[in-house]
Structure 1
Amino acid sequence: MKAFIPTDSPRTTGPAVRLAEVAEPVQQSDQALIKVEAYSVNRGETFVLERPPVGWRPGKDVAGLVVQAAPDGSGPAVGCRVVAHPPALGWAEYVAVPTTALAPIPDHLTAATAAALPLAGLTALRLLRAAARHTGHLAGRRILLTGASGGVGHYVTELAAAAGARLTAVSASAERGARLLELGADQVVPTVAAAEGPFDLVLESTGGANLPLALDRLAPRGLLLWFGQASRQPVTLDFFSILNGPVSATIQQFSYADVDGPDGPDLATLVRLTADGQLHPELGTVRDWTRTAEVLDELRERRIRGNAVLTVS
């Protein structure tokens, strides 16, 4: 079968993949074999592609058709359309996925839309869940979201607004900011420095100079959840400055993979919200999978708003 693999000599200036013939997946007892119809590309994968692990192939967000059910009898039957979140290997014609990491999708939901859900949607859903554990609820809470223009930012904005939060989104693009307002953001500002606190919660994904600026805008006993470093710049914190900042602030690192239980139930929640019209995946581009390398470069350079989806022809 055909699949995208890292090139033999990855460039340090950008991602590099090539379409190649690879062995077909060998199912484990708890895995369904999926014929991939669409997959989503994440910016984090572009970073891994700069220095890929030996034997690794990218692909964490896929949607397609079950062509072989799991040998142990778990999961969906042959012919079921599903969205899945494998750990890797998804940029291919076929992929084997644990049945605990997939969810059925209804007929009216396109494969391209479903493929945009897993990584970004799971991150947003679990990020707000972690925030709610700290605050008790999100209704009425003031939230500052940095790096809001990507797929995660769009999902966070819509989910937070639906929960009754007052969200200030940071986006340097006026066009992207307008879309965030449509999705329910209370306010959009071009920089963290322009955000007027205090905020009960800060959801910080850019790192560099933005994290200390965002921390300064926390309310007393507020929480900063750090879930990314899109700027790729290290964070420097002045602890003397922190002592003069928000009282009893909490800084907590967040990983969407740090959960008790499988991905399937949360994927099913995202599918239900999308199918019911309560969640709207932002498809920044949908192209044929032969253009994957081109999309990777655009994604890494932040020229795509929302999710980038490739359809397997």
Structure 2
Amino acid sequence: MRRLMPTGDATRPVEFVQDTQPAPSPCEVLIKVEAFSPNRGETFLLEAPEPGLRPGKDVAGLVVQAAADGSGPPVGTRVVGHPPMGGWAEYATVPTHSIAVLPDELTTIQAAALPLAGITALRLLRTAGAVTGRRVLLTGASGGVGHYLTELAAAAGAEVTAVTATVERGARLRELGATAIVHDVADADGPFDVVLESLGGGTLTATLAKLVPDGTLVWFGQASRTPATVNFFDLLAGPENAVIRHFHYAGAPYGPDLATLVRLVAGGRLHPEIGRTTDWGQTAEVVIDLRERRIRGNAVLTIGASR
């Protein structure tokens, strides 16, 4: 079978290689991959790939070998999955605790855009706590996580201010429920009960100053790739008793959250924002465009996906 592997070359970060079909463990299914979605974090790993790196964490396709322990769906079932690695290939193994069955109304292209970004958004909102009636400031809102967060938080009754680089992307976030769009944190009309911060650098300090007393900042990324620093005396001059929480989405099982995302999309309550869909032969180009933030939301690569 064919698989995409890292090259270490920034101008052509992945290439096709021939590989043996993976053999699932007793608690894994073998999926014929129809679509997968790279995420921006993976693009950074490709810059200096570790030996043996097999990228690919967001996949959708058809079960062609059921789990030997009987824990998963039967052969012929359409599923979305979140494996630890190895999804950029014609076949991938996925633990049964990290898959969800797809209803007929959901395409594999839509489903492939759900796992990492969607799970991150769900778990971020749980970390933030009840947001109904609260003012939420979201940075880095143009990516896949940002679109899901905006729609989920707005649907839960939050007043969302989204920080995004362009007017075009801001218009889409308004459609998904954002109350206000700004292009610089300084322009955000605070104070806010909750800040969801993903840029790092100076943005973390700037958003921290926008909190209400006893407010919470959840730090879930450093997309600027610039380290953030916080001056203790700035904190004294800012919101009293502010809470800064570090967040990382990872932690199996992922199946229950995937099932929630699938249900919301199938019911028309969540809308995957797919900025580009193309054949997986274009993966190298897509990886570069994701890294350089030239794609809104998610990108999905197809391997003969029919629906």
TM-score grouping bracket, smaller chain normalisation: over 0.9
Partner of 1:242: 235
Whole-angstrom distance in 2 between the partners of 1:245 and 1:105: 47
* TM-score, reference length from structure 2: 0.98
Partner of 2:217: 224
Whole-angstrom distance in 1 between the partners of 2:145 and 2:79: 21
Check conservation: 2:151, 2:177, Cα contact below 8 A: yes
* CA displacement at 1:14 relative to structure 2: 5.8
Structure 2 counterpart SS, 1:269: helix
Partner of 2:288: 297
Check conservation: 1:15, 1:296, Cα contact below 8 A: no
Structure 2 counterpart SS, 1:297: helix
Any unmatched runs of 5+ in structure 1? none
Q: 1:233 to 1:180 in 2, by over 3 A?
A: same
The residue correspondences of 1:186-201 to structure 2 (distance < 5 A) are 186-201=179-194
Give the ranges of 4+ consecutive aligned residues of structure 1 lying more than 2 Å apart after TM superposition: none
Check conservation: 1:141, 1:165, Cα contact below 8 A: yes
Whole-angstrom distance in 2 between the partners of 1:262 and 1:275: 21
Whole-angstrom distance in 2 between the partners of 1:103 and 1:40: 16
Q: Are 1:152 and 2:145 matched, yes or no? A: yes
**Count of matched residue pairs:** 304
Check conservation: 1:201, 1:222, Cα contact below 8 A: yes
Identity of counterpart residues, as a percentage? 63
Partner of 1:138: 131
C-alpha RMSD of matched pairs (Å): 0.9
Partner of 2:303: 312
Any unmatched runs of 5+ in structure 2? none
Counterpart among 26, 31, 36 of residue 33 in structure 2: 36
Amino acid paired to 1:39? F
The residue correspondences of 1:62-73 to structure 2 (distance < 5 A) are 62-73=59-70
* CA displacement at 1:22 relative to structure 2: 1.1
Partner of 1:163: 156
Check conservation: 1:159, 1:279, Cα contact below 8 A: yes
* CA displacement at 1:221 relative to structure 2: 0.4
Partner of 1:57: 54
* CA displacement at 1:108 relative to structure 2: 1.8
Amino acid paired to 1:192? V
Counterpart among 90, 93, 101 of residue 93 in structure 1: 90
Structure 2 counterpart SS, 1:41: coil
Partner of 1:2: 2
Counterpart among 226, 247, 254 of residue 254 in structure 1: 247
Q: Are 1:123 and 2:106 matched, yes or no? A: no
